[in-house]
Structure 1
Amino acid sequence: MNKLKVNELLRAQDWTMYGIIASIYLIWRIGTVGGWSKECWVLLLICLLGVRKDQVDVDWKKFFIFGIPLLGVFYYFYGSGNSLWWRIANWMFENNRHPWHWDDYMNAIPLNTGGWARWIANPYLDKAMVWIYNYGFVLSLWICIVRSFWTRSIKKMLSYALSGHMLQFPLILPFYNLILLHEVWYVNKQPDLLHRVFPDENSMLVATMNCFPSMHTSISFAMLLLALREKDRIFKWMMVTYCASIIFSTLYLQIHWLIDVCAGMLFAYGTVKLTDFLIRTATNKVVPEKFKLFYRQKAGVASKQISA
């Protein structure tokens, strides 16, 4: 009797509303941990305007069963990823495993410093480019993941996440371990346009190395390529504009070399194609058919099967 009452109580709950509340809270936590400014939230909201055009036909309750834990996993790695990255960077600096030093070579190539990007420089554009660069490394990815969450697509969430930091971090480490290349401003003894404060010389060296390829470029360009696959034109053009601005900011602020940027774009293209292959292989050979059938069924059919 008690079991029947519990079942009735559970069926009477509005689980869809609970899922929406939990999702909004988790997204808010992501922005809070990332220190998002109000401009970040405005950009996210604009990108969500046409989300219905890309939603897949999946019941919200079924999606939340998998979507919320997956978003939580991404949130966990987001919170711990920054410290992990800096531990790796410090380890590479302390062990000095860089057989190739490229500062002089890169500086000798005409137009490679990207100084030509500053022909329109002014204080207002400087401020805008600093904001774009500082947030661009993670915001471009999170906007795409959060939007794919509201499209109710696990596949899209995985596609954006894998094409971003999850695959790019391990794949880019061999380049950073073999090639020592410092930021443009540091090599040319110019002021740091990001106005960073370094406690000592070693901290500055760690922060200004690992330039080839540009990961700001590779993350944003991967998101741009995937965003072009969506139907909503507002989202596509917003992401094209924003991601292109991130890439431009790396040159405008004298952070990355032009060759870094080109290499970052090629690296991003390869990562996206690798992600497509992995997801296609997993979908066809790894994911059980029962799971796919349950996930695709309409809400009424699934509820009848669960009740039975």
Structure 2
Amino acid sequence: MNNNTANRWHRFIQAQDWTMYGIIAGIFLIWRIGTVGGWSKECWILLLVCLMGVRRDQIDVDWKRFFLFSIPLLGVFYYFYGSGSGFWHSIANKLFESNRHILRWDDLMNGIPLNSASWIRAISTPWLDAVMKWIYLYGFVLSLWICIVRAFWTKSIKKMLSYALSGHLLQFPLILPFYNLILLREVWWVKGQPDLLYRTFATENERLVAVMNCFPSMHTSISFAMLLLALREKDPIFKTMMVTYCAAIIFSTLYLQIHWVLDVIAGMLFAWGVVKLADLLLHLGSTKLLPSRLKLFYSSAEPKQETETIAA
């Protein structure tokens, strides 16, 4: 490539609005995430409300430098989101087939007074059933994605990693020993009641796999981890919405007779531990592993263009 061609390419690249390209790429990935997840209009509305005060938590980082790292990171998250469901179900099936559960807690949990949370059903109505079903079905991933997407628009790679690590990235591997050692099935199944989620299972094996892993409640652990991290943000709208939404997810697990009270408590303790572990990993990564030149490049402010004034 001769100098003229190189100069033309350089001028072409310099002339592009890379910030706008990054915004378009970010919106596209977020749209794809919602499409793959089958988000309803209520999911999108919840996300938009949580983004209303995002400027309060934005950090002073050049958009172009931020997009250079955040777009690939968001793309990686999107890829694993699309393929993660099948991977998780394959692990659940293998755990069921291996049948290595040393502890079997169905009778134990059922024998503890008030542990089934059946008392919550005293306020049940068809409308509330439908709302709780929506909250539960989307809550496992929507609570995490809302936080990651918002962290993206705050221009913080660290926050994106914090939410991702505190959510599925660390919780999946760390919770597997519990699910492999403890056999505890969902409340409705143990008590011989109808499934309030109205799920249909093609085979008996499929039904057993779906209800076998209860302790700790991962719906609770994911949502409670997001709640703890959301409380660190400045925007009151986001904090209020996430505390309310995540608390509703935890409540739905009890209301729908899926998890036991002790599952929920264990899930909250598990989430707290995972958040602390994620904090430690990010601290070590940013102070010990991340090259100083990379940190300087990422945090450097955008060079201000010189302007010329022409006197009339």
Structure 2 residue 139 is matched with structure 1 residue 129: no
**TM-aligned CA deviation for residue 272 of structure 1:** 0.2
Q: Secondary structure at the match of 1:292?
A: helix
Distance in 2 between residues matched to 1:96 and 1:169, nearest whole Å? 19
**TM-aligned CA deviation for residue 200 of structure 1:** 1.5
1:107-157 per-position Cα deviation (integer Å, ceiling 9, x unaligned) = 000000011111110000000000000000000000000000000000000
Structure 2 partner of 1:152 = 155
1:142-191 per-position Cα deviation (integer Å, ceiling 9, x unaligned) = 00000000000000000000000000000000000000000000000000
**TM-aligned CA deviation for residue 296 of structure 1:** 1.1
**TM-aligned CA deviation for residue 87 of structure 1:** 0.2
Structure 2 partner of 1:89 = 92
Distance in 2 between residues matched to 1:2 and 1:91, nearest whole Å? 57
Distance in 2 between residues matched to 1:114 and 1:70, nearest whole Å? 40
Structure 2 partner of 1:76 = 79
**TM-aligned CA deviation for residue 286 of structure 1:** 0.3
Structure 2 partner of 1:3 = 6
Identity of matched residues, %: 71
After TM superposition, which residue ranges in structure 1, 4 or more long, deviate above 4 angstroms?
none
Unmatched tracts of structure 1, length 5 or more: none
**TM-aligned CA deviation for residue 294 of structure 1:** 1.2
The AA in structure 2 aligned to 1:289 is S
1:265-305 per-position Cα deviation (integer Å, ceiling 9, x unaligned) = 0000000000000000111100011111111111107x99x
Distance in 2 between residues matched to 1:206 and 1:150, nearest whole Å? 38
Query: What is the correspondence of 1:173-192 to structure 2 with a 5 Å cutoff?
Result: 173-192=176-195
Structure 2 residue 35 is matched with structure 1 residue 16: no
TM-score, normalised with respect to structure 1: 0.97
1:70-116 per-position Cα deviation (integer Å, ceiling 9, x unaligned) = 00000011111100110000001111010110000000000000111
1:198-239 per-position Cα deviation (integer Å, ceiling 9, x unaligned) = 112111100001000000000000000000000000000000
Q: Secondary structure at the match of 1:299?
A: coil
The number of residues matched between the two structures is: 303
Query: What is the correspondence of 1:1-308 to structure 2 with a 5 Å cutoff?
Result: 1-300=4-303
Q: Secondary structure at the match of 1:300?
A: coil
**TM-aligned CA deviation for residue 25 of structure 1:** 0.5
Q: Secondary structure at the match of 2:233?
A: coil
**Over the residues paired in the alignment, what is the CA RMSD in angstroms?**
1.0
Distance in 1 between residues matched to 2:264 and 2:120, nearest whole Å? 13
TM-score, normalised with respect to structure 2: 0.96
Unmatched tracts of structure 2, length 5 or more: 307-312
Distance in 2 between residues matched to 1:97 and 1:72, nearest whole Å? 36
Distance in 2 between residues matched to 1:82 and 1:240, nearest whole Å? 26
Q: Secondary structure at the match of 2:290?
A: coil
Worse overlay, 112-121 or 136-145? 112-121
Distance in 2 between residues matched to 1:192 and 1:259, nearest whole Å? 20
